[in-house]
Amino acid sequence: MNMQQKMHGNNHYEIGLDHGNVHVFANAEVFQSFEAKVYEMADNNLRIPRNVYMSYTPDAHVGVGTCIGTTAVWSMKDGIVSPSIVGVDIGCGMRVHTTPLHKRDIQDKAVRRALIAAIESYVPTNERTNSHFADIDIMEVVKQGLRGLPSKYVPDNQWITHVEESTFQYDHTYLEHLPPKIRKNARGQLGTLGSGNHFIELQYLEINEASAELAAKWGLFDGQVVIMIHSGSRAWGAMLGREYNKVMKEAMYHWGVENPDPNLIYAPITSKEGKTYLNLMYSALNFAVSNRHMIAFGVRQAFKDVFGPQIETPVLYDLMHNYALKEFHRNQPMLVHRKGATRALPPNHFLNTPVYKETGHPALIPGSMGTSSYIMVGKEEGLKNFYSICHGAGRVRSRRATKEAVTIDQFAQSLRIGTEEEILVNHRSLETILDECPQAYKDVDQIIDSVVGASLADVVARCIPMAAIKGK
């Protein structure tokens, strides 16, 4: 394959491939670690007609059809929508709640263990345990997002205003196309964590002087305990995505569309299949944001149980990293696919949610287990990448390869088990979550360095884990 490398500025490469160009944002070390396969995948994606822009953030790695870490843009007028460039966990994303606590308040392991137990009593982490919120009508949630929740589950208006999107509006008649088993399998799952890389973490913040002013505006302080949540649309999004991959694949066959990768699925936005997928994708985005909301509701109850009913744990922000959003760029509406990429809008950008219009919104970036996560803010220069930054550390090893290469002892050591700085985990044995160990991921500090060096975003706070809750 033809590969021509051009440098645009610090940490910004443009790679010319056979069927178009892919932009790469990475420092020299991360850039050199990219395997040939990610460029093969980019080239297959660039065969899709009328692509306006395609890029990789530094956490990019091989995925199904399209790399995780991809931003891909088409015009709404003549563009395409791709379920495989959205990814399997539609609406997967991040949420952070703040607390008034300082890290010393939960340094005592007994306190942290009590918190973990309390959280698990409200948020099921066992894969097949139903949520405690049986009175919530799932159909109202997928139709209206947060506005479909009973008001007793909305503690205050901030839980609606401090999110990337509270309600995606779409044509609900498309829900009639869905196979009934999707409703059946998603029932009882609202407010449950899921497995894989999903987590709830208790972290404390490290804020340096340069970002202290903005951090204070957001209500953040050095040493503060925060709650970070990573989850998605559970069975609703997964089954819907799978179903429409299948439907669209058949349509591609009928249209005679050819692509070397059979897992790369796409259709014109204006086609029946494209319209159907987009409308149903919105239902999954509504499910996902509501799912994180209800997980947070449970965690809030747990904090009240442990620290008393007066404790306040307001939401900082909730945003997604697997979706296709209609956004206005270059004087026209575009469909921006982000598959494992996070929007980071700069101060005063019109796409910001109103409460963060002036400062830009918090961009929430998880690390791997046992390493730091980050709260960032976008910069003007992010325009060159359609305001996309990384979504985390990014895998370097498959789940299977990780289990072969890393021992339980090595994992335990990276969680500093047995020391004062131990990260407490809700698993008796680390064996079941070994594939989530930090050795399975790139070094998140290198990823953040890449993004900052490329002037896409700045660090506002570093979040250091104290306790982690994972699915079982």
**Using CB under 7 A, which of the segments 2-10, 26-34, 183-191, 345-353 binds DNA?**
183-191
> Minimal distance in Å, beta carbon 318 to DNA?
17
Residue of 236, 266, 226, 269 lying closest to 249 (CA atoms)? 266
Chosen residue from 24, 94, 106, 238 binding DNA by CB under 7 A: 238
Alpha carbon distance 70, 342 (integer Å): 10
Alpha carbon distance 374, 205 (integer Å): 9
C-alpha dist (Å) from residue 171 to 89, 126, 187, 278, 464: 21, 34, 22, 10, 42
Q: Which is nearer to DNA, 198 or 397 (CB)?
A: 198
What backbone phi and psi angles, to 5 degrees, belong to 277?
A: -60, -45
Chosen residue from 21, 195, 271, 353 binding DNA by CB under 7 A: 195
> Minimal distance in Å, beta carbon 368 to DNA?
11
Residue of 240, 326, 321, 249 lying closest to 277 (CA atoms)? 240
**Using CB under 7 A, which of the segments 8-16, 19-27, 150-158, 181-189 binds DNA?**
181-189
Chosen residue from 69, 191, 232, 392 binding DNA by CB under 7 A: 232
Which residue type occupies 43?
A: D
> Minimal distance in Å, beta carbon 3 to DNA?
29
CB 61 within 8 Å of CB 322: no
**Which residues are within 8 A (CB) of 331 and not within 5 positions of it... i.e. 6 or more apart?**
none
Q: Which is nearer to DNA, 130 or 144 (CB)?
A: 130
CB 314 within 8 Å of CB 293: no
> Minimal distance in Å, beta carbon 327 to DNA?
25
Q: Which is nearer to DNA, 42 or 235 (CB)?
A: 235
What backbone phi and psi angles, to 5 degrees, belong to 261?
A: -100, 110
Catalytic annotation, pick one of 23, 198, 361, 391: 391
Q: Which of residues 432-461 bind DNA (CB under 7 A)?
A: 436
Q: Which of residues 243-302 bind DNA (CB under 7 A)?
A: 246
Q: Which is nearer to DNA, 166 or 231 (CB)?
A: 231
- What tokens does 156 get? 């205050």
> Minimal distance in Å, beta carbon 196 to DNA?
2
**Using CB under 7 A, which of the segments 135-143, 189-197, 384-392, 405-413 binds DNA?**
189-197
> Minimal distance in Å, beta carbon 379 to DNA?
29
Alpha carbon distance 43, 41 (integer Å): 5
Chosen residue from 97, 234, 292, 343 binding DNA by CB under 7 A: 234
For the question of residue 391 being annotated catalytic, the response is yes
Q: Which of residues 104-143 bind DNA (CB under 7 A)?
A: 127-128, 130
**279 sits in which H/E element:** helix 272-307
Q: What is the DSSP string of 55-102?
A: EEEEEEE--SSS-EEEEEEEETTT-EE-HHHH-SSTT-EEEEEEEEEE
Q: Which is nearer to DNA, 112 or 132 (CB)?
A: 132
CB 389 within 8 Å of CB 433: no
> Minimal distance in Å, beta carbon 144 to DNA?
22
Alpha carbon distance 183, 206 (integer Å): 42
Task: Examine residue 185 and tell whether it contacts DNA (CB under 7 A).
Answer: yes
Q: Which is nearer to DNA, 44 or 131 (CB)?
A: 131
Q: Could you give the angle at which helices 109-122 and 272-307 cross, rounded to 10 degrees?
A: 130
Chosen residue from 27, 44, 189, 450 binding DNA by CB under 7 A: 189
Q: Which is nearer to DNA, 238 or 251 (CB)?
A: 238
Chosen residue from 43, 59, 89, 449 binding DNA by CB under 7 A: 89
Q: Which residues bind DNA (CB under 7 A)?
A: 88-89, 92, 127-128, 130, 185, 187-189, 194-198, 231-232, 234-235, 238, 242, 246, 436, 471
Catalytic residues: 391
